[in-house]
Structure 1
Amino acid sequence: MKKYRIFGFISAVCICLSILYSVVGVSQTSQSQVLLSTNPPLEQIRPLQAGGETEKSPVTFTFQAVDAAGKSLKNALINLEILTPPRNFWLTTDFPMVEGTTLLEMQVAAPDGKLEIQQMLPIRGNYQLNVNVSPLVANAFTPYQETLNLKVKENSIKYKYLAVIAAILFSVGLLGGWVIGGQEELKEGEIAPQSVRLLLSSLTIVAIITLIFINITAEVAEAHGGHNHKPENIAPSVQKNQDLEIEVLGDKNATVGKLANLAVEVKDSNTGEPIKDAVLKVKAIALEDNLTVFAYQGFPNEKGQLIWKEQFFDGAPHKVEIEATPLQNSPRQFSPVKVAQLVEVEGISPPISTRLISLFYFTAIVGIGMAIGLLIQQRRQPQPKVN
């Protein structure tokens, strides 16, 4: 009888554990989430190549908020934050002052639960995308947060350039070690053999060229700061007609590595009441290369405003351009209105430690080549015979 009781007890425990496991599994899988799609696909995304001749275009991000059943959430408020890859002291990127900063912050209404933006990604590494979804109508659904990660690989051309530079420096070091290892005899009045003196002169020239290269690279990383590119034709920051008034608000000066506050306000030109039934097409354009770094199409909030924070990672003038158009089925119809604002961006030079690390790597490559050259010469020389 005892055996049956023990067997029954064990069976009951197993059934309870199975039910508990099923409940936990359902609670983990059936929940609201944010689906992310990109164009180009994730594996093809590459960072901006500073000074490159290839075509540059921002990445299109589409965030879709769905419920536990996979259906799109209606009337959602989406808060998006994009964080750049963290700093890497030993392996910096083209824009070291951008590492470990916030690239974009925005909160927008999504009637169909979808947020679509275009954003240029400046550097390689792991980006973190924080998405908060909450209802526009109270208690329509439970707010939730999701963190998405995006890994961006480096442009392959960078590795080719690095391989060529490393090969040249290694060859110089190898030749130097070979010459010094030859043990050329000193002539009268000479401090060092002629071949060694020629080698030291060559190394000095290489060091100067390397320093020039590092400083030029640093200036490129500073993002061409100091250029005063004033556009000849730019729309005014305020436009007003008989139907509406639209104005660009926010910072007119920005700094690389920091967020700039930007906004646009749309209101009735007669009553001053906020206008919500309009479509706003936003673009941020780097004027030096006429490059679109950010784009978004959405709607004003209850106050007739669209607000966002954006980092300009290129230290050159940018133009923030907004075009307002009427909703297709709205009773308020008007001609498209365009406004713009010039934003001067201050570039920041990378710290001296970054330049010294680059110089250390180049010097180390030359040193390794020289050590190998010396070792080869020593092995080639005949060893004295021991009687």
Structure 2
Amino acid sequence: MSLRYGTQPPPGLSRRWGRHGSMVSLCSLILILWAVEALAITVSISSTPPPQTIRPDADVARVTLAVQRDGQPLSHGRIQVKVTAPPRPSWLSTDFPVVEATTLLDLASDLQDGAFSFDYLFPIRGAYTFDVALQPVADSPQFDPVTIQQSWQLHENPAEIRNVWLLVLGLFMLGGVFGLVLARSAQAKSALLMTVMLISTGLVMQAEGDVRGQAGAAKTQQVVRGESGWMLQVDSTPAQGTVGEQVRFDIVLTKDGEVFAEATELSLELHHIEDDKSIFKTAILASKGETSQHLQFFDGAPHRVNITARPVAHDQAAQPLQAVFDMEVNGIQPPLAVKLRTMALLIGVLIIGMAAGWFCPVGSKETGGAPIC
């Protein structure tokens, strides 16, 4: 009896140890997950103003991507950011239907204090997609490349919503007036029918018009020469922008005919000339004096491009070199399907108004025959 109890734990001890063992295992798992989370690289995307209050084609937002590792800003790394426009809506088109579901920005830069930011005028409402890729740089702590995807939902500008409702109300009232006239006068009926036929013919001819812009030259080059052998060269491909398509800017800073081999700071800004406002601006850090950036002009109007480059640190204090040039942008008409859908919606509102006016009861001769609806 004593031998049996001497080789086995007292009653209840195994059950208590089982419970304590489970708690120890759970705590160990939590610690492991916490350690893995601490070592993971995280990317947060924020903006000023916040996404829920950004008004498309009205507010220039400052977008900031913050990268952390071990809970601290990742000071050495290369980030690539691709921003894709919202997909095409099912019903009402946006102000720039050609840019829907296209890539607006494709930017690359070395991180500065664990962050990268840019100012941008988001053109349309809908869900934007941010594709972010991180990779290590030479002569710095290494890590596995990271890719993340995040979406932003931008709501329509309240002013645009008000204008749409005013247009719908105006068409409905106009249709009501047409319906009243058609119901009361056969002569007016034929005249109005002829007018509707002419308007419809004009709309169809406009809808069937050419939807492509004129193609520009393959490439243009800007060269700015500075003192002490410095030179800034900017190649734009193609030479003219086209709505819905990206333009590639190849920027090269050279010293004595060779690409500058040290860290270089560059700034890139796009300015809408007709509206006199900046639509995009960013500061880029390159490991050497060479970089390529891809951007899309979403409005078919002339833009001014401003590019500045300077070495981060150099024995000889070099003045920043600045290339400023204007770029024409070819506007593209909306696709035929978008035009037809928009016309169908507007004509539908007009027809509903006409039906309301047609069936509106008319008063007796004593009341002058005025409608009483």
Q: If the length of structure 2 is used for normalisation, what is the TM-score?
A: 0.78
Distance 2:36 2:187 in 1: 76
Deviations 1:249-303 (A, max 9, x none): 231233221111112111212x62514344322212233333322212233333x
Q: Against the structure 1 CA distance between its residues 357 and 24, is the aligned structure 2 distance closer, same or farther, given a 3 Å change threshold?
A: farther
Distance 1:120 1:276 in 2: 32
Distance 1:44 1:288 in 2: 25
Instruction: Quote the residue 1:62 is aligned against.
Output: 64
Match of 1:163 among 153, 165, 174: 165
Q: CA deviation at 1:110?
A: 1.2
Instruction: Quote the residue 1:152 is aligned against.
Output: 154
Q: Against the structure 1 CA distance between its residues 167 and 6, is the aligned structure 2 distance closer, same or farther, given a 3 Å change threshold?
A: farther
Mapping of 1:1-387 within 5 angstroms?
A: 11=19, 15=23, 18=26, 22=30, 26=34, 30=38, 31-48=40-57, 58-69=60-71, 71-137=72-138, 140-180=142-182, 193-197=186-190, 199-200=192-193, 203=196, 211=203, 237-251=223-237, 252-269=239-256, 272-302=258-288, 304-327=289-312, 330-377=314-361
Q: Against the structure 1 CA distance between its residues 12 and 164, is the aligned structure 2 distance closer, same or farther, given a 3 Å change threshold?
A: same
Instruction: Quote the residue 2:368 is aligned against.
Output: none
Q: Against the structure 1 CA distance between its residues 81 and 324, is the aligned structure 2 distance closer, same or farther, given a 3 Å change threshold?
A: same
Query: In the alignment, is the contact (CA less than 8 A) between 1:77 and 1:109 conserved in 2?
Result: yes
Distance 1:86 1:92 in 2: 11
Distance 2:166 2:206 in 1: 19
Q: Against the structure 1 CA distance between its residues 198 and 254, is the aligned structure 2 distance closer, same or farther, given a 3 Å change threshold?
A: closer
Deviates more, 1:22-31 or 1:137-146: 22-31
Please list every run of 5 or more consecutive structure 1 residues that lacks an aligned counterpart in the other structure.
49-55, 185-191, 229-234, 381-387
Q: CA deviation at 1:199?
A: 4.9
Instruction: Quote the residue 1:232 is aligned against.
Output: none
Q: CA deviation at 1:78?
A: 0.5
Query: In the alignment, is the contact (CA less than 8 A) between 1:65 and 1:73 conserved in 2?
Result: yes
Deviates more, 1:17-26 or 1:107-116: 17-26
- Matched residue of 1:264: which SS? strand
Distance 2:149 2:102 in 1: 16
Q: CA deviation at 1:8?
A: 7.0
Query: In the alignment, is the contact (CA less than 8 A) between 1:248 and 1:341 conserved in 2?
Result: no
Deviations 1:60-115 (A, max 9, x none): 1111101242x101111101111110122432111111000001112211142211
One-letter code of the match for 1:244? W
One-letter code of the match for 2:349? I
Query: In the alignment, is the contact (CA less than 8 A) between 2:224 and 2:323 conserved in 1?
Result: yes
How many residues align structurally?
346
Q: CA deviation at 1:336?
A: 2.7
Distance 2:15 2:361 in 1: 82
- Matched residue of 1:175: which SS? helix
Distance 2:32 2:186 in 1: 80
One-letter code of the match for 1:285? H
Q: If the length of structure 1 is used for normalisation, what is the TM-score?
A: 0.75
Distance 1:124 1:326 in 2: 39
Please list every run of 5 or more consecutive structure 2 residues that lacks an aligned counterpart in the other structure.
1-8, 365-373
One-letter code of the match for 2:251? V
Deviates more, 1:171-180 or 1:256-265: 171-180
C-alpha RMSD of matched pairs (Å): 3.7
Query: In the alignment, is the contact (CA less than 8 A) between 1:178 and 1:377 conserved in 2?
Result: no
Instruction: Quote the residue 2:3 is aligned against.
Output: none
One-letter code of the match for 1:255? T
Q: CA deviation at 1:166?
A: 0.9
> Between the two proteins, what is the percent identity of the paired residues?
24
Query: In the alignment, is the contact (CA less than 8 A) between 2:76 and 2:141 conserved in 1?
Result: no
Query: In the alignment, is the contact (CA less than 8 A) between 2:263 and 2:287 conserved in 1?
Result: no
Query: In the alignment, is the contact (CA less than 8 A) between 2:262 and 2:311 conserved in 1?
Result: no
Q: CA deviation at 1:337?
A: 2.0
Query: In the alignment, is the contact (CA less than 8 A) between 2:93 and 2:342 conserved in 1?
Result: no
Distance 1:17 1:125 in 2: 46
One-letter code of the match for 1:238? V
